Structure 1
Amino acid sequence: MNTVVAPPDRPAVDSRIVLAIVSVGVLLSSLDLFIVNVALPDMASDFAGANISGLSWVLNAYAIVFAALLVPAGRLGDRRSNRTTFLLGLGTFVLGSALCAVAWNVGALIAFRALQAVGGAMLTPTSLALVLAATPAAKRPMAVRLWVAFGGLGAALGPVLGGILVEFGWRWVFLVNVPIGLVAVVIGLRLLPNPPGDGGRLPDLLGALLLVGTIASFVLALVKGQEWGWNSAGVLAAFVATVILGAAFVVSSSQHHSPIVDPALLRAPNFALMAANSVFFNIAFGAMLLSSVLWAQDVWDWSALRTGLAIAPGPLVVPFVAVLAGRFIGKLGAGRVIAAGGVVFALGMIWWAQSITLAPDYIGGLLGGMIVSGIGVGLTLPTSFAAGTSGLPPQRFATGSAVLSMSRQIGLAVGVAILVAIIGTPTSPTATLDAFHRAWYVTAALAVIAGLIGLAAKMPEPVAPPQHQPA
């Protein structure tokens, strides 16, 4: 996906207005990645016979489809019109949200979550392109930081807002998106700029479908491993499908003129390392977030609101630590900061495994590990993203950002699946405690692996844009 570059003269539309409009879509899309976690136990109560392995697809359907379509959706926007693609994406997201709110069973909810994800994938990369197109070159770095900040705000507000809305019924988690999104669509139709597309070639849509199938079959094998049996025909078939579809995806990417993952990106400084770091770290992050929700609500029997408030301190420390991490990079190097983030996150998980008991103890148990893991997130995620994109040429920035975001979503989906596989269906409180302790130790190990991968990262100088001679 090519970054849309604003003309050198003053943009016709105030960039602050554009940022305000598109940030609504970015906030809603990011919010829905996290807000649904606290609603899962209430969904299980509402849908008779639903279990955590089935409901995990409410999270994973969104993450998988969102991940696979990010890059092709961005390229479609650049090809035709980022404005049109953004507004269609926001409208699709609103429609998916409305349908989720009236879902009659788990299967329908999963399908409508996938529709939500299609809209989210369309609006996310095109929103950045619209901001860049409306912003003078000197102000673009600040505009990008603000754009990223709205995504982080969604992560911080998700658990708390979800807890509040679930008090009125879990369907409000989705219904709240509808009026906000519709207002943004109406205003966007009137005020958003419409920079011309580059008319490039169609992206690898077959590759996107193959990627969806690869991740979905792998997640299915993990989620159903205990229920069906790890040696069962269904689980083995899912693993075989993962290998076949993954191989087909690699072949498609190597032969297509506009692949999901451009091989040239993998040769950029740090990029492949940071993509791998993003996958492993977000496996740990996804498992951590869902485990804290399930523990607080299912074991300690806390309400969704109390759970959301209990989780909030972790996300809230992230932006403050992220600012401090920028200072550490110059002294320690990006690799050491990322590695430290992985280790600190792991310490938060070990804290939980060592201190959380069946008797509720928020201060000594859940809170300490939540804050420590939040510090780890603040050290790792922004540093990894910066290291992965800083060596890209300007015309590859948006595409590279989308691929790193895709890696993040893949990690979140796999993390949820791994947690479900480890926890299983324990039959006693003691077995439940042991299962969660195992899950937290595994999560800690994955965070350390992510840190070790990131240790080799270096922060290169950004690639300067080409100099144009005056006409």
Structure 2
Amino acid sequence: MGVGEASATAADGDVIPRSTWVAMGAMALAVLAIANDFTAMNVVLPTIEGDLDSSLSAVQWVVNGYALVFGVLIVPGGRLADVYGRSRMLCIGAALFAAFSFLGGLAPNVGLLIAARVLMAVGGALMWPAILGLIYGLLPESKAGLAGGLVIGVAGIGNATGPLIAGALALASWRWIFFLNIPIALIALVVTWRTVPRDEATEREPIDYAGSALLSLSLGALLGALTVAPTQGWADPLVVGGLVAAVVLMVGFVLRERSTGEDGLVPPSVIRNGPFLAACLAALCMSATFFASLLYLPQLFQKIQGEGTMTAGVKLLPFVAVFALASFTETWLLGKIGLKAVVSLGAVCVVAGPVLFVLLLDDQAAYLRLVPGMVVLGVGVGLFFSAATTAGLTAVDPSRSSLAGGLLYMFQIGGGAVGLGLTTVLFLASADAGVRDAASDVGVELSDEEVRDLQGVLVGTESSAAVQAAHPEDARALTEVVRDAFVDGVRVAFTFDAVLALVGVGLVLTRVGGPLSRLGRDVDRGDAADPAHDRSGTDPPAGRHRTRRHRHAHRHVP
């Protein structure tokens, strides 16, 4: 029986044929690899920092470059899949993902590694929306809910297991994290090409290439300036030029979107929807805490506690495992306490997590003192992003839900990338000042370059060894100085993230899922305020709530 006949049988008898299960399994593997790459690299960044003789400000781009490009291109990726065919875009994306994973595994320096990660993200942004659309197309209507559940469930598993897989692979070499992607992407490419019918274009809407490019370049210029500023100074021509370019490009993006109207990357009819915009901005504010936790907690485990990559991955489990569990229980909670309560609870926990880190973190970064913050933050991230996406999507017309889901994800991932960039600037400023002052107290005067180089002593970079060699009698004291300054810098970083998340809480309590007075009134409905409610401030008519399939189809996991 051919693939087309198998699909017809599934539609007629609600029986999913073996070929469909095989295709969905291959695509689920691809989702696992994409989601895994969001969390896996954080555990091995200290190792990469030492191996490639780099710095934290540079290696953060291994995470940020991937996230930023993926987040910005997810909407154009979905439109490309609609215009040119989902199976075609999945195969192109898988080929890019595999090819640049191979190059990333061979990268001899941090610059080429970052470039490979950025281009991997292009492939991932083509694959992700194509996979969701293909799985929906393969399933019969009665089982369509499996599509969203499969993608989100596998993505959650990928996020949760990423640090463990990376830690295990890094026992051999961190490069195997990249090489593992190659067979997975190729399996998705071959199986999809052989088992999934070629889909026709479903729409011919214009694709806003210029808008996507302007937004990507603007955020890239901003993050580039933030990366260079701690080492070169804010008055450096490269930093000033980057900031000016970011502003000019962002103005160009806004003007471009106004001129293109509904054909733009961000259509006015969607972004001018108040409750939807509030959900986007709240996600932007909350994402910095999520990204910073994935970066700085493994740094503490390895640089301060002296753990290896595998142990660091295991120690991150209270965060990522609780996050995955909370994501899966969000639907159940909607029926128990309502959407407004779930999204508010999640937002408050996202603030409480970094607050607990700041209050409980001691100079030795004792692990048990970090666990309460990880558990609370895991609950917050798992509940907030799922519920905020539901609230945002149910605030727009159902015909625009796919586009709205992509925009929400763009704000979430793009906001996390920019937020992490700002967090790292503050961390480095605090850590550098702490090293300089403490070194002076022990009688060692360090130049700005020596201060920056000495930060690498916790991972054993060649440049830090040279600084210690220049001060042999104070080498041990300088190591302790760096350790203390690092912990203080982490406290400053999480304080900033907590303040930013607090702004998000204000948006959530007042605008996301309706006003605060709505708390508890949407129990057993599981939807945010209906568009009619959100615009008028009155409750929607009975029966006008979204189905479970709608809620899960577009929920995204970072």
After TM superposition, the score normalised by the length of structure 2 is 0.78
Letter in 2 for 1:149: G
Query: Are 2:2 and 1:16 equivalent residues in the alignment?
Result: no
**1:339 aligned to 2:344?**
yes
Partner of 1:320: 325
What are the within-5 Å matches in structure 2 for residues 161-310 of structure 1? 161-256=165-260, 258-268=263-273, 270-310=275-315
Q: Which residue of 2 aligns with 1:351?
A: 356
> How far apart in 1 are the matches of 2:383 and 2:74?
25
Deviation of 1:293 (Å)? 1.4
| Secondary structure of 2:265's aligned partner | coil
Partner in structure 2 of residue 469 of structure 1 = none
**Secondary structure at the counterpart of residue 270 of structure 1:** helix
CA contact (8 A) 1:73 1:122 kept: yes
Whether 1:457 and 2:462 are equivalent positions in the alignment is no
List per-residue Cα deviations over 1:69-91 (Å, max 9, x = no partner): 11112111101211100111011
Question: Separation in 1 of the partners of 2:58 and 2:489?
Answer: 19
Corresponding residue for 1:30? 35
Offset, 1:195:
2.0
The equivalent of 2:108 in structure 1 is 104
Deviation beyond 6 Å, 4+ runs, structure 1: none
Q: How large is the Cα RMSD of the aligned pairs?
A: 2.3
Q: What does residue range 356-367 of structure 1 map to in structure 2 within 5 Å?
A: 356-363=361-368, 365-367=369-371
State whether structure 2 residue 110 is matched by structure 1 residue 85: no
2:498 aligned with 1:444, yes or no? yes
**Identical aligned pairs, as a percentage?**
28
What corresponds to 1:3 in structure 2? none
Amino acid at match of 1:431: A
C-alpha contact 1:389 1:400 (8 A) present in aligned 2: yes
Asked if residue 133 in structure 1 is aligned to residue 164 in structure 2, the reply is: no
Between 1:367-376 and 1:328-337, the stretch displaced more is 328-337
How far residue 360 of structure 1 moved from its aligned partner, in angstroms, is 4.7
Deviation at 1:454, TM superposition (A): 1.7
Tell whether the 8 Å contact from 1:61 to 1:114 is kept in structure 2 after alignment. Answer: yes
Conserved? CA contact 1:353–1:441, under 8 Å = yes
Match of 2:533 in 1: none
Measure, in 1, the Cα distance between the counterparts of 2:274 and 2:422.
30
Give deviations 1:274-300, integer Å, cap 9, x for gaps: 111111111121112111011111222
SS in 1 for 2:174: coil
- Residues 352 and 440, structure 1, Cα contact 8 Å, conserved in 2: yes
Instruction: Give me the whole-angstrom Cα distance separating, in 2, the residues matched to 1:77 and 1:27.
Output: 20
Greater mean deviation of Cα atoms: 214-223 or 426-435 = 426-435
On the 8 A contact 2:426/2:489 being kept in 1, the answer is yes
1:443 is aligned with what amino acid? D
Post-superposition offset of 1:324: 4.1
Q: Distance in 1 between matches of 2:79 and 2:358?
A: 44
1: CA distance between counterparts of 2:355 and 2:118? 34
Structure 2 residue identity aligned to 1:251? L
Alpha carbons 2:89, 2:130 under 8 Å: kept: yes
Task: Please tell me the residue identity of whatever aligns with 1:63.
Answer: A
Worse-matched range after superposition: 115-124 or 426-435: 426-435
Report SS of the residue matched to 2:144: helix
* Corresponding letter in the other structure for 2:508: G
In structure 2, the residue corresponding to 1:35 is in which secondary structure?
helix
Amino acid paired to 2:26: I
User: Structure 1: 5+ residue runs without aligned partners?
Assistant: 1-5, 466-471
Tell me the residue number matched to 2:466: none
* AA of the residue aligned to 1:434: D
TM-score, normalised by the number of residues in structure 1: 0.91
Partner of 2:263, secondary structure, is: coil
From the superposition, tell whether residues 341 and 272 of structure 1 become closer, same or farther in structure 2 (CA, over 3 Å).
same
The partner residue of 2:382 within 366, 374, 378 is 378
1:250-286 deviations in whole A, cap 9, x for unaligned?
A: 1222222531112222245732111111111111211
- Shift of the 329–183 alpha-carbon distance from structure 1 to 2, 3 Å rule, reads closer
Q: Is the 8 A contact 1:285 1:415 kept in 2?
A: no
Structure 2's unaligned 5+ residue stretches are 1-6, 436-480, 514-527, 531-543, 550-558
Partner of 1:432: 486
Match of 2:121 in 1: 117
Count of aligned pairs between the two proteins: 458
